[in-house]
Structure 1
Amino acid sequence: MGLRRHVYHQLFARADRSDKLTLFNRFMIVVILAAVAVTIVATEPKIFRPHRELFIALEMTFGLIFGVEYVGRIWSVAEEAGDEPAWKARLRFMVTPLALIDLIVVVAALMPFFFSDVALLRIVRLIRLAALAKFGRFSAALRELVRALAERRYELLVTMALAACLLLFGASSLYWAERHVQPDAFGSIPRALWWAIITLTTVGYGDASPITPLGKFLASIVALSGIGLVAMPTGIMASAFSDAMQRQRGAEEDKQTDT
């Protein structure tokens, strides 16, 4: 096995194939968890300020590891090029969603090398939470769930369209009913849209609420509609998750039967 083929196997082996997670992929899972943990802890000023140099050193270390992994993937992906030029296979890989996430994580982690602005570093640390999305490369169950959700995309789009209609209805009706008595909260449809979002999602902050009888009646309709609106995507996603788990169990049973 050549060096590039060996690197390709270490980086691109997937749990949903016959091969299991490689040693390097297991190492990367540990690194990703550590990087996310450091990112979360670093948002607490009382912890970050006394240990600023340590946190920056850890961020740079994670950035170098992610950078080496990213370069290794670009270099070794030419193994699957076949008859086409290697640069085409590498370019095609570089524009995939997971490769773009890798690039964002690398750039965000290496930013302390080039910038010292504290405000910018705070934003960068939050961006580095994108490292968590790299687990999609290692989790067959997550890929099955994404596939199941993609199969339900039309149902989810219908739900989103219905939600948009309900939001517009709620904001327009409360604007019509309350605009004269509460101009600050309902003086325009965009202002009333905030109340509609909070009500339909059943959050209910209470910073804006109707006070007229007509407004309360219309708000009751919107609030009751919100219960069904929340239940619809929840049911669709629960069904998709169940289908994904059943498909995964079926695949595992088929493998056991074949062996």
Structure 2
Amino acid sequence: MKHTHKPAGEGLRTRVFQIIFESDTPLAKGFDIALIGAILVSVLVVMLESIESLRADYGTLFYWIEWGFTLAFTLELAIRLYCLEKPWLYLRSFYGIVDVVAILPTWLTLILPGGQALVVVRLLRALRIFRVLRLMQFVGESRLLIDALHRSLHQIFLFFFGIFILVTIFASAMYLIEPTEAGFTSIPMAIYWAIVSLTTVGYGDIVPVTPLGQAITVMLMLTGYSIIAVPTGVFSAQVIRAIREERYSDEACPGCGYDRHDTEARYCLRCGTWLDEKTIDPRLAKSGEGGKE
């Protein structure tokens, strides 16, 4: 994997750079794995601290462990900046921003108590495991999903706009039908109930009590079941289309017109015609050379 960052100079900075920013050596891989392990443990500590019983018994221990991780990550960031030729470029990169945001909450607790719960953002730093395990090649596959999502944005927007209109109609009807004691105190509250019912979640905090309202609720739930697959189908169709465009060429065979060839195909699958009209068929070139001889 190529890095856009460069070491600040020869000697110690270069050796540190190779350990921290690369993963080609056992020492570099060990550093990355240890860093990811520390990140996961630090987030686990924050999660355990949010449990009241554990916080009452081990609050002091959690506090010092968290500060230990914060100091370690602060030192690690300082070392990263020390070995870089242009440290400000790293601070402006995705990982640089995440590294800074990961240590800020604990330091901010000195000024704003309670901010340490935000250190769960450190989980983003675990994305470095892609570099350790050489999985960056799979990141390219996400282009298909992003492209499919981009293509289906208009259809999905129209779908949600239609759902909003439908929800507003049902909510307005329920606001007129149901008494305020049932929880339908306003149209916005009725819209909240309609969304919960349409998605078939059903929290139960707002429940219709009239027979007509219950009948409308049944209709709304059945409608939710019937349309829930619409955005999924639209997105799936775009994913299939993106995969086809990635795999198949849109150029037709000059011989038979067949247009379902792989992008790397040289000859037509049906008639065997040379597909690249801008170049000469190597078979014809070889036969011509043979005739000259």
Q: Alpha-carbon deviation of 1:208?
A: 1.7
Aligned residue-pair number: 223
The 2-side partners of 1:227 and 1:73 are apart by: 52
Tell me: higher relative CO, structure 1 or 2? Use CA pairs within 8 A at least 6 residues apart: 1
Match in the other structure for 1:150: 146
Shift of 1:170: 1.2
Query: Which one of 10, 13, 32 corresponds to residue 4 of structure 1?
Result: 13
Asked whether the 8 Å contact 2:177–2:213 carries over to 1, the reply is: no
- Distance in structure 2 (CA, Å) of the matches to 1:161 and 1:75: 51
Q: Distance in 1 between matches of 2:205 and 2:222?
A: 19
Q: 2:31 matched to 1:13?
A: no
Please tell me whether the aligned partners of residues 70 and 102 of structure 1 are also in contact (alpha carbons under 8 angstroms). yes
Q: Specify the SS of the correspondent of 1:67.
A: helix
Matches within 5 A, 1:1-259: 2-13=11-22, 22-78=29-85, 86=86, 90-112=87-109, 114-115=110-111, 120-121=113-114, 123-125=115-117, 127-139=118-130, 140=135, 143-144=139-140, 146-154=142-150, 157=153, 158-159=155-156, 162-183=159-180, 185-212=183-210, 215-227=213-225, 230-231=228-229, 236=235
C-alpha separation in 2, matches of 1:202 and 1:156:
24
- Larger Cα-atom Rg: 2
Report the RMSD for the aligned CA atoms in angstroms: 3.6
User: Do the aligned residues in 2 keep the contact of 1:179 with 1:188 (CA within 8 Å)?
Assistant: no
TM-superposed deviation, 1:173: 2.2
When normalised by structure 2's length, the TM-score is 0.61
Q: 1:198 to 1:175 in 2, by over 3 A?
A: same
Query: In 2, are the aligned partners of 1:7 and 1:76 still within 8 Å (CA)?
Result: yes
Deviations 1:198-247 (A, max 9, x none): 2233211122234455544543443234335554566758x97xx99xx9
In structure 2, the partner of 1:82 is none
Q: Which runs of 5+ in 2 are unaligned?
A: 1-9, 247-293
Do the aligned residues in 2 keep the contact of 1:166 with 1:222 (CA within 8 Å)?
Answer: no
Q: Secondary structure at the match of 1:203?
A: coil
Question: Would the alpha carbon gap of residues 49 and 177 (structure 1) be closer, same or farther in structure 2, given more than 3 Å must change?
Answer: closer
- Classify 1:170/1:28 alpha carbon distance in 2 versus 1 (closer, same or farther; 3 Å): same
* Structure 1 length-normalised TM: 0.68
| d(CA) in 1 for partners of 2:77, 2:230 | 39
User: 1:35–1:62: 8 Å Cα contact kept in structure 2?
Assistant: yes
> Are the counterparts in 2 of residues 171 and 193 from structure 1 also a CA contact under 8 Å?
yes
Distance (Å, rounded) in 1 between the aligned partners of 2:208 and 2:227: 21
Contact 2:36 2:128 in 1 (8 A): no
Misfit runs of 4+, over 6 Å: 18-21
Given the superposition, is the C-alpha separation of residues 59 and 234 from structure 1 closer, same or farther in structure 2, using an over 3 Å criterion?
A: farther
1:23 positional shift: 1.7
- CA offset at residue 61 of structure 1? 0.9
Give 1:100 shift: 2.2
Separation in 1 of the partners of 2:222 and 2:150? 24
Q: Is the 8 Å Cα contact of residues 197 and 220 (structure 2) preserved in structure 1?
A: yes
Q: Counterpart in 2 of 1:251?
A: none
Structure 1: gaps spanning 5 or more residues = 79-85, 248-259
Shift of 1:132: 1.2
Larger proportion of helix: 1
Instruction: State the distance in 2 between where 1:186 and 1:228 align.
Output: 25
Give the Cα–Cα distance (whole angstroms) in 1 for the partners of residues 81 and 223 of structure 2: 49
% same residue: 23
Task: Indicate if the aligned counterparts of 1:39 and 1:128 stay in contact, CA closer than 8 A.
Answer: yes
Distance 1:71 1:208, change over 3 A: same
State the one-letter code of the partner of 2:196.
I
